[in-house]
């Protein structure tokens, strides 16, 4: 019999957003572990942690928890009892998160890490830091041939239409990306990027 702590994952909706609920019996160590891996938030309504579906990386979670915690992700698997229409309805984007992030250049990755330290020193919320880093890694992974100095407002608009909208990502994802970029360029101080109109 498995005696390791267990985490159960399931799809759901929270505040009109498609999410993955992360459920487990109260355990402070597991809570800290999960918060360090995923950009989770606490739901009082559901009494558990959750993460936006577009920010959820099952493979990353599985690799980080292997041998420590039993991960029950059976609820995330396709339900054979559902019709094709029902099964397709909640499906999100088809993009591969890791495939986008892996294209991030070493130079830009270092800049993002410096930005992370800058945010930590200014006491940004932990979830905000994780979310901003996550969004920046995706954005600059998408524009892997560009440096931050090369990026224009038109590039942000193109990313919004060709990546966010095309992949069916949420308004929250779009807003998080814009906020992350604004703060990142403010940190760089070498350039101002006006994306308020997006």
Model pLDDT for residues 138-168, shown as the tens digit of each residue: 999 999 988 898 999 999 999 998 888 888 8
Q: What are the C-alpha distances in Å from 44 to residues 56, 57, 188?
A: 20, 23, 37
Which whole number is the average pLDDT over 10-16?
84
Banded pLDDT at 196 (limits 50, 70, 90):
low
In a domain, 56, yes or no: yes
Question: Which has more pLDDT, 196 or 33?
Answer: 33
Q: Which of 36, 65, 88 is the last residue of a domain?
A: 88
C-alpha span between 73 and 57 (Å, rounded): 12
Contact between 101 and 138 (Cβ < 8 Å): yes
Q: What are the C-alpha distances in Å from 23 to residues 15, 30, 58, 85?
A: 18, 11, 14, 27
In a domain, 194, yes or no: no
C-alpha span between 197 and 149 (Å, rounded): 20
Provide CB contacts within 8 A for 79, sequence distance 6+: 86, 87
Q: Which of 61, 88, 115 is the last residue of a domain?
A: 88
Contact between 48 and 41 (Cβ < 8 Å): no
Q: Which of 62, 88, 114 is the last residue of a domain?
A: 88
Q: Is the pLDDT of residue 176 over 60?
A: yes
Decide the pairing of beta strands 70-72 and 48-52.
Answer: unpaired
| pLDDT for the residue numbered 198 | 57
Banded pLDDT at 190 (limits 50, 70, 90):
low
CATH number at residue 152: 1.10.150.130
Question: Which has more pLDDT, 26 or 135?
Answer: 135
| pLDDT for the residue numbered 84 | 42
Question: Which has more pLDDT, 114 or 197?
Answer: 114
Q: What is the mean pLDDT of the chain?
A: 82
Q: Is the pLDDT of residue 11 over 70?
A: yes
Same domain, 36 and 102: no
Tally of CB atoms within 10 A around 38: 23
- Please choose, from the candidates 158, 112, 119, the residue with its C-alpha nearest in 3D space to the C-alpha of residue 135: 112
Same domain, 69 and 115: no
In the chain, count of helices (H) and strands (E)?
8, 5
In a domain, 175, yes or no: yes
Same domain, 13 and 74: yes
Left if phi > 0, otherwise alpha if psi is -120 to 50, otherwise beta: which for 15?
A: left
The residue range of the domain holding 176 is 97-188
Question: Which has more pLDDT, 117 or 61?
Answer: 117
| pLDDT for the residue numbered 141 | 92
pLDDT digits (tens, 9 = 90+) for 61-116: 888 888 888 888 888 876 545 444 443 333 344 467 777 888 889 999 999 999 99
Q: What are the C-alpha distances in Å from 4 to residues 49, 66, 68, 102, 183?
A: 19, 11, 7, 32, 40
Same domain, 65 and 102: no
Which whole number is the average pLDDT over 115-139?
93
In a domain, 171, yes or no: yes
Q: Is the pLDDT of residue 10 over 60?
A: yes
Total number of domains in the chain: 2
| pLDDT for the residue numbered 194 | 66
Tell me which DSSP letter residue 150 carries. G
Q: If you count them, how many residues does the chain have? A: 198
Same domain, 130 and 58: no
Same domain, 12 and 66: yes
- Please choose, from the candidates 49, 65, 55, 60, the residue with its C-alpha nearest in 3D space to the C-alpha of residue 9: 49
| pLDDT for the residue numbered 57 | 82
In a domain, 193, yes or no: no
Same domain, 39 and 67: yes
pTM recorded for the entire structure: 0.56
Decide the pairing of beta strands 70-72 and 6-14.
Answer: parallel
């Amino acid at each position: 019999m498995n005696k390791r702590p267990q985490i159960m994952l399931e799809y759901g909706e929270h505040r009109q957003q498609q999410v993955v609920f992360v459920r487990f019996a109260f355990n402070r160590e597991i809570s800290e572990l999960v918060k360090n891996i995923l950009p989770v938030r606490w739901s009082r309504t559901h009494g558990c942690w959750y993460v936006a579906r577009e920010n959820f990386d099952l493979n990353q979670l599985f690799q980080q928890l292997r041998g420590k915690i039993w991960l029950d992700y059976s609820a995330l698997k396709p339900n054979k009892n559902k019709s094709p229409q029902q099964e397709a309805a909640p499906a999100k984007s088809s993009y591969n998160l890791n495939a986008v992030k892996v294209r991030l250049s070493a130079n830009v990755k270092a800049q993002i890490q410096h930005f992370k330290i800058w945010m930590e020193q200014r006491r940004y919320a932990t979830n905000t830091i994780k979310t901003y880093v996550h969004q920046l890694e995706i954005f600059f992974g998408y524009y892997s041939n560009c440096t931050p100095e090369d990026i224009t407002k038109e590039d942000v608009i193109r990313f919004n239409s060709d990546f966010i909208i095309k992949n069916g990502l949420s308004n929250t994802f779009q807003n998080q990306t814009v906020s992350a970029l604004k703060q990142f360029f403010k940190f760089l101080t070498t350039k101002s990027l006006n994306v308020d109109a997006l």
